Amino acid sequence: MTAMRHIEINRRQVMVGAAGLTFALASGLRFAQGQAARSATLSPWVTIATDDTVAIMSPAAEMGQGSLTSLPLILAEELDADWSKVRVIVAPPNDDLYKNPSFGFMYTAGSNAVTSYFKELRLFGAQVRKVLLANAAKHWNVPVAELSTEPNVVIHARSGRRLSYGEVAAFAEIPAKAPDVAEDELKRPAAFRLIGRDVMRVDLPGKVDGTAPYAINVQVPGMLYGAILRAPVEGAGPDMIDDGKAKAIAGVVRIVALPYGVGVVAQTPYAAFEAKNALNVTWARTGKAWGFNSEEALIAFAAAARDL
Amino acid sequence: MAIDFNVNGKAARSEAPPHTPLLWVIREELKLTGTRFGCGTGLCGACMVHIDGKRTFACQTSVSDVAGRAVTTIEGLSENSSHPVQRAWLAERVPQCGYCQSGQIMSAADLLAHNPKPSREQIVEHMSTNICRCGTYPRIVRAIERAAQEG
């Protein structure tokens, strides 16, 4: 359900074609949820719910390097979000919105996600904070310059009034264009509340209780499973395939000859593996390495090394 | 034909062919995907579960072998990751990609259940059944030492 909702939002983001702040996004979210506004989508990156939850998109693949934590945390820093109220959402595939600035598309590689996204995520966070401040200023009818923030709260110190981000989200009007943020409006490192602190990685609890999602867990209705018996040598392929035993295994749907091996399609993963192991294939002895014997090669190399 | 057993304290039944590895019954039929497929040949430990309280490779165990027995998977190890090993795993930030970690945790829990104060050498020896491609071994050892200490 969650994934569907984000795909729905994503289509609307493509329609408006903007990386900034839009009303279309907020109404899109309302439409997708099929209910009255419970949250304000303040940008393609941030949705603040009236219960004060701050949902932040994470644009890079989590592979254990911590991007699911570090990238949203950079945005949360400039937004001045309360990290305990942040929910991280894996961004849907959309290069226009979530591209890695170093590559121009969504790409996680080269240990560069934090350095590449750093400036933009700070800017996006600062923009959303500015929208919240502008809305609070209008609500209280005070100059925006008199307002400040603490984590998830807008404060008017002169009158002692406070509005949580969730309270602002309930009435926030979102400008058609994202506000400009000058470099010197960003936080100075001394004011950082999150960057540089030891924060629990978002992905870890699921990796300790077994619930972390992996591609192998994906199941769709009517899904079949495949396994490939590969040629023993690169460059070789099947010459003759005896698949009599493999086909007799319950759940096997099809045996497929491939240029580099033999594929099995089955109703369960185990039937696919079992059938793969039951194949009897005669390989065409093509490929340079046919006849190579690693034991003999090791002896030959060792002998050559003694002569150096 | 059906095989009856117990998984994480609940009755389970499988109609799979008797020689089907327990791993696939757990993952595909019971939808307990915390137990992982790694090598399928008992070499990597990603599929480690407890059978009657003893660690076992689920990929090397036929479903017929667990008839009438009690299987514990990572999902059943504790409520809310409260097992000392899981708490230590979080405290030491052990996982990187995480794929092998269910199996690592099940092996570590088995060690401490039978040897509450293992030496470093005993930890390394016991955990040699489990491979981590990310190389989280130093943190695994630290986490087991922590779990042994904090119980």
Q: Does the pLDDT value for residue A16 go beyond 90? A: no
Residue of B nearest to A210 (CA): B34
Please name which of B116, B104, B112, B132 lies closest in space to residue B48, comparing C-alpha atoms: B104
Query: Please, is A190 exposed, middle or buried when counting C-beta atoms within 10 Å of its C-beta (0-12, 13-18, 19+)?
Result: exposed
pLDDT at A99: 92
Q: Does the pLDDT value for residue A239 go beyond 60? A: yes
pLDDT at A40: 65
Phi, psi of A264, deg, nearest 5: -125, 135
pLDDT at A41: 65
Using a CB–CB cutoff of 8 Å, tell me whether B96 touches chain A.
yes
Whether residue B73 and residue A205 make contact (CB cut-off 8 A), yes or no, is no
Residue to substitute from A209, A219, A267, A277, interface B, most B β-carbons within 10 A:
A209
Mean residue pLDDT of chain B comes to: 97
Please name which of A18, A68, A67 lies closest in space to residue A44, comparing C-alpha atoms: A18
* CA distances for B71 relative to A151, A212, B4, B65, angstroms: 46, 21, 11, 11
B50 falls in which pLDDT band (50, 70, 90)?
very high
Q: How far is A217 from chain B (nearest CA, A)?
A: 6
Of chain B residues 45-84, which have a CB less than 8 A from chain A? 73-75, 80-81
Chain B residues in contact with A203 by the CB 8 A cut-off are 95, 98
Q: CB–CB of A95/A128 below 8 Å? A: no
Whether residue A210 and residue B95 make contact (CB cut-off 8 A), yes or no, is no
SS (H, E, C) chain B: CCEEEEECCEEEEECCCCCCEHHHHHHHHCCCCCCCCCCCCCCCCCCEEEECCEEEEHHHCEHHHHCCCEEECHHHCCCCCCCHHHHHHHHCCCCCCCCCHHHHHHHHHHHHHHCCCCCHHHHHHHHHHCCCCCCCHHHHHHHHHHHHHHC
Q: Give the pair of three-digit tokens for residue B100.
A: 């092998």
Q: Does the pLDDT value for residue A54 go beyond 60? A: yes
pLDDT at A82: 98
Residues 6+ apart with CB under 8 A from A181: A123, A126, A127, A130
Q: What is the DSSP letter of A265?
A: E
Angle of the A113-140 helix axis to the A67-79 helix axis, nearest 10: 30
Q: CB–CB of A42/A174 below 8 Å? A: yes
Please name which of A54, A76, A56, A114 lies closest in space to residue A192, comparing C-alpha atoms: A76
Beta strands B70-72 and B48-51: pairing type? Answer: antiparallel
CA–CA distance, A301 with B114 (Å, rounded to integer) = 47
pLDDT in tens, B97-141: 999 999 999 999 999 999 999 999 999 999 999 999 999 999 999
Using a CB–CB cutoff of 8 Å, tell me whether B5 touches chain A.
no
CA–CA distance, A168 with A153 (Å, rounded to integer) = 9
Q: Does the pLDDT value for residue A216 go beyond 80? A: yes
Residue to substitute from A208, A228, A274, interface B, most B β-carbons within 10 A:
A208
Q: CB–CB of A168/A136 below 8 Å? A: yes
What ipTM was estimated for this complex? 0.97
Whether residue B101 and residue A205 make contact (CB cut-off 8 A), yes or no, is no
Chain B residues in contact with A211 by the CB 8 A cut-off are 34, 75
Beta strands A86-90 and A54-58: pairing type? Answer: parallel
Using a CB–CB cutoff of 8 Å, tell me whether B21 touches chain A.
yes
Q: Does the pLDDT value for residue B147 go beyond 60? A: yes
Chain B residues in contact with A64 by the CB 8 A cut-off are 95-98, 134
Nearest to B74 among A209, A217, A268 (CB): A209
Phi, psi of A284, deg, nearest 5: -65, 130
Interface of A with B (CB under 8 A): 63-65, 200-201, 203-212, 214, 216-217, 250, 268-270, 273
A57 falls in which pLDDT band (50, 70, 90)?
very high
Rg (CA), chain B: 15
Looking at residues A82-108, what average pLDDT do you find? Answer: 92
* CA distances for A200 relative to A67, A68, A212, B100, angstroms: 12, 11, 15, 20
Chain A residues in contact with B105 by the CB 8 A cut-off are 208
Half-sphere exposure of B10 (CA within 13 A, CB side): 9
Looking at residues A118-137, what average pLDDT do you find? Answer: 94
Return the sign of the alpha-carbon dihedral for residues A143, A78, A3, A199. negative
